[in-house]
Amino acid sequence: MTLFSLSRVSLRFETVVSEKVPPSFHNASIGVISDVNGNISNLNKAVDHLKIYQPDIVVFSGNLFDETTTASDEVAIRDLLTSIPDKLGKYAVLGSGDIPSSNDTARQTLQTSGFRILDNSVTPIHNQTNESIQLVGLNTNASITYPTVVDGGFVITVAHNPDVYDSLRDQTMDVMITGKSMNGKIRLPLIGALFPSSKYNEKRKQYDETIMIQSSGVGTSKPEFRLFTNPDVVIIRLQNPQ
């Protein structure tokens, strides 16, 4: 099971209900992928999921390549990322594995394929109205300066490393999207992650006023084992209860 799970890319759905979600974003969807780590085969499966579902927004939360990625792999990954459909934009943050040597290549590949890289910045996203949600992207490879966001607005923060939450508890974050942990890679029922790489490694959990949603990753970091943590694509559906 630890080996078979490496190539089984699942589609996971999460729903976030909040009165702060603008009416024009009711039932809007966000597709999340993370931690490709150069795995072209799994990325192809993830992109197929996104093509079928066609989320309104697509978010990549870091770690595009690994040390074995070749120039031809980079082209294949760029073409796959380019083919991802989106309606309201594709956005990305860089991960710990995207530095230092591959930083420029990862950044260029993402930008060429239509992703906007967010470096400690906030981007208002509109859905054909004046209403907006605030998308914050944090550069967790550098000093984090949390940007100023609109008071009362619905805020989604994207960071590669979930552990940065500890330094952000006083910020307004309705949803935090992260990667890196791969949900612990090896998990056992009732026990949880055996060898967690991050303090936070649950697929979804609420901390204070923030719902943290983690992608399990598309690829797998070395050593390549997984148990009860299939690679996945996450679809987050926003809903206004009114």
- Kindly list the distances between the CA atom of residue 29 and the CA atoms of 15, 157, 203, in Å, as whole numbers in the listed order: 9, 15, 17
| 3-state SS, residue 208 | coil
Q: CA-CA distance, 124 to 145, in Å (whole number)?
A: 18
Q: What is the mean pLDDT of the chain?
A: 88
CB 6 within 8 A of CB 45: no
233 and 218 Cβ atoms separated by less than 8 Å: yes
Q: How far apart are CA 242 and CA 224, in angstroms?
A: 45
Task: Supply the pLDDT for residue 186.
Answer: 67
Token digits of residue 73? 């792999």
Q: What stretches of 90-131 adopt beta strand conformation (E)?
A: 90-92, 115-117, 121-126
| pTM (predicted TM-score) | 0.91
Q: What residues contact residue 110 under an 8 Å CB cut-off, 6+ apart?
A: 60, 64, 81, 92, 117
Residue 133 to residue 59: CA distance in whole angstroms: 14
For residues 217 and 5, give the distance between their C-alpha atoms in angstroms, rounded to a whole number: 12
Q: What is the pLDDT of residue 168?
A: 93
pLDDT band at 103 (very low <50, low <70, confident <90, very high): low
- Residue tagged 């209900």 (tokens): 17
Confidence of residue 101 (pLDDT cuts 50, 70, 90): low
Q: Is the pLDDT of residue 3 over 50?
A: no
Place of tokens 């380019």: 82
Helices 71-82 and 103-112 pack at an angle, to 10 degrees, of 30
Q: Residue 151 pLDDT > 70, yes or no? A: yes
Average pLDDT over residues 52-60: 96
Q: Helix, strand or coil for residue 93?
A: coil
Count of CB atoms situated within 10 Å of the CB of 194: 11
Residue 217's nearest CA partner among 167, 183, 166, 171 is 183
Phi, then psi, of 13 in degrees rounded to 5: -110, 135
